[in-house]
Copies of this chain bind each other. A is one copy, B any other.
C-alpha cells in the first residue's frame, strides 16, 4: 500500500529528503516493507532548480494542497522559524497528520503546545533531526537509555562554533579570522548570531534536557554565553594546561533542580568530547545504570540531516514512533516542571585569566580575594614579566567553587587597582 507523505520547505535539507525518498524508494521498500510516496513538495519558490528530479504534479506553492489531501498521512516541516512553521504544524496535526520536523527553535519555544496537540489528535510528532543531525540521540533517549535516570547530558551541538574553535587553535587564528573562514566555507551564516551567540545550542539543550531528564522548564531559564568573545590566548593557555575549549550545552539534574547552560567550556583532553573536532557534533550522557555514553556524527549538512528526517518518517509509518509517543511520559506537557538554577547558584571549576599590573603583591591580592570565599586554586600560570609598566596575564584553574562566591571575589579583585580585566571560563572535569 502506498503511504503518502508531503514535504514543506524545499531548501537544502528538503532537497536531501527528496533525494532519499525519490532515489532510494525501492531500497527502502525492500528494507522496511514501506512503499513511501513523497506525493507533494511545497515551497514559496517552485521555480529555482534543485539538485533532484521532481515528478510532475508534486511541486506546489499552496500548502493547502497538502493540508486538505486526506491521503497524505504525514507532513515533513523543514521551513524553519517559529511563526509559519508553528501554524503549519498545528494545522497538519489538526488534520490528523503526523509531523516530522527538524525545527529546534520551534520545539524549544513551543514544544509542550505542539506535543499536546499531536497527542490529542492521536498522531505523532517526531524530531530526530532537530538535534545533532544524523546522530540518533533522540531515539536513544526514548529507547536505548530509557531504563536510566540520566544525571548529565553534555552536547557539542553546534557545528559552526565547533569549526571556529577547532580552526582557531589549529591554525592560530583569531575568532574573527576563523569566523570569516567558516562563512567562506558555508559553515556559518552571513549573520552568525544564532550559532556563535549560543542560541542554537540552547534550543537543542532544551530538547535534550526535557526528554532526557523527563522534566519541563522554561526555555528562557537556560543560561547562554556564546563563543563570540573567545580569545586565542585562552585557547593556548587551555592547551598548555591539558584542556581544549568547546562550546558545550550542559544539562545536569539533581533531585530538586536543573542546571542548564550553554557556555564555552574547558574540557580535559582525555574527555571523549574533547576529540570532537571541526563541524562534528556529539552528545555525552551519564546515567545511573549505563554509566557514560556518547554519540558522535555530523550535526548538520544536507544528507546527514535528511537521513534523520527519513528515519523518523519510517519510524512513524511503521507504527513504532506512535507507541513511544503515546506511552512515554517524557514529552513536555506530560512531565513535571523543575526549577532551573540561576548561574550564580552553580558549582563548577573555573579558568580565570587576570590581566594585571606587573608589580609585587598582585598574585597575593587575587589569591586573597579568592581564599576569603573558600575558593581554592588548583594551578597557576604566570608568564615571565613583560616590559616595565606592561600588563601580564595570570592564569588560574580553581577547584570546584560556587559561582556566586566566585563572582564576589572577582568583583573585589576588579574593584582594586591591580587588575584591568578578567576572563572567566568554566571547566568541566
A residues touching B (Cβ–Cβ < 8 Å)? 16, 20, 24, 27-28, 30-34, 128, 134-136, 139-140, 143-149, 214, 272, 275, 287-298, 301, 303-304, 306-308, 310-311, 314-315, 318-320, 323-324, 327-330
**5 extra A-B contacts, CB within 8 A, seeds A31-B214, A291-B298, A295-B295:** A31-B146, A136-B144, A272-B296, A290-B307, A296-B296
A166: shortest Cβ distance to chain B, in Å? 12
Asked whether B149 lies within 8 Å of A144 as measured between CB atoms, the reply is: no
Asked whether B32 lies within 8 Å of A329 as measured between CB atoms, the reply is: yes
Asked whether B147 lies within 8 Å of A311 as measured between CB atoms, the reply is: yes
Pairs of residues from A and B, 8 with the lowest C-beta to C-beta distance, nearest first: A136-B144, A293-B297, A134-B290, A147-B310, A289-B307, A294-B296, A290-B307, A289-B303
Which B residues are in CB contact (< 8 Å) with A324? 318, 320
A306: shortest Cβ distance to chain B, in Å? 6
Which B residues are in CB contact (< 8 Å) with A329? 30-33
- Write 26 A-B pairs (CB below 8 A) sorted by A numbering: A24-B147, A28-B147, A31-B328, A31-B330, A32-B327, A32-B329, A33-B327, A134-B293, A135-B293, A136-B145, A139-B143, A140-B140, A140-B144, A144-B311, A145-B307, A147-B306, A289-B304, A289-B306, A289-B310, A290-B303, A290-B308, A291-B298, A291-B303, A295-B295, A295-B296, A320-B324
Report if A297-B292 is in contact (Cβ < 8 Å); known contacts: A314-B147, A323-B323: yes
A37: shortest Cβ distance to chain B, in Å? 15
A324: shortest Cβ distance to chain B, in Å? 6
Q: How far is the CA of A20 from the CA of B290 in the complex (A)?
A: 11
Q: How far is the CA of A34 from the CA of B214 in the complex (A)?
A: 16
